[in-house]
């Protein structure tokens, strides 16, 4: 689309399989760790498989064999040339819960802006990996901090509140339809209600 992006950074929490793969070509599933950033508590990222598809020249058979080997433990890394190619596209960084809380607190105190824990991880990863300090680094915020009060409170901040325009959100009437477990019925409902 023409946006001149100089660098992309993968930010992870303690569930750092993507960071380990990008930084050291080590793709081994560890036990899942419960963190203050639960949306990052995953071991296998489907988006990463999409990247691998491109790195492996869109060769579905080769990729399927690699994924099978990674899943079975037969392989623990990517082909060196593919890994090096990934490193030209992405930098990566791992941020633990303690540092996540420190970033939430620091940004709140210095900028009067309350981050959710996932966005705090992105901010810290951007700071740690920024190879071009003369170019603005953008961290995409992923959620409102009200969804993660435990992390915000642990960071020494007050329990987050919904914005004023959403303050009655939980009291608003719900509007939904129960549909049968049938693809045609779902498609028909969407077609009739998407105008």
**Domain that residue 132 falls in:** 8-154
Asked, for residue 182, whether it belongs to a domain, the answer is no
Cα 38–chain centre separation: 10
**Structural domain tally of the chain?**
1
Asked, for residue 162, whether it belongs to a domain, the answer is no
pTM of the model: 0.85
Asked, for residue 43, whether it belongs to a domain, the answer is yes
* Interval 112-160: pLDDT, tens: 999 999 999 999 999 999 999 898 899 988 799 999 999 999 999 999 9
For 45-73, give one letter per residue: b (16+ CB within 10 A) or e.
beebeebbbebbeeeeeebeebeeebeee
What CATH number is given to the structural domain containing 69? 3.40.50.1100
* Interval 78-119: pLDDT, tens: 999 999 999 999 999 999 999 999 999 999 999 999 999 999
């Amino acid at each position: 689309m023409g946006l001149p992006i100089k660098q992309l950074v993968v930010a992870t929490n303690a569930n750092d399989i993507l960071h380990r793969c990008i930084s050291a070509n080590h793709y081994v599933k560890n036990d899942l760790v419960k963190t203050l950033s639960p949306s990052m508590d995953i071991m296998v990222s489907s988006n990463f498989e999409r990247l691998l598809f491109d790195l492996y020249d869109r060769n579905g058979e080769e990729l399927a064999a690699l994924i099978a080997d990674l899943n079975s433990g037969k392989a623990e890394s990517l082909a060196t040339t593919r890994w090096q190619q990934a490193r030209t596209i992405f930098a990566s960084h791992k941020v633990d819960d303690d540092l996540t809380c420190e970033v939430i607190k620091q940004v709140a105190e210095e900028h009067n802006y309350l981050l959710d824990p996932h966005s705090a991880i992105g901010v810290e990863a951007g700071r740690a990996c920024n190879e071009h300090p003369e170019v603005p680094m953008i961290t995409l915020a992923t959620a409102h901090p009200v969804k993660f009060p435990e992390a915000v409170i642990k960071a020494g901040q007050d329990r987050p509140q919904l914005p004023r325009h959403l303050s009655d959100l939980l009291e608003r009437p719900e509007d939904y339809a129960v549909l049968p477990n049938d693809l045609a019925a779902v498609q028909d409902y969407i077609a009739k209600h998407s105008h």
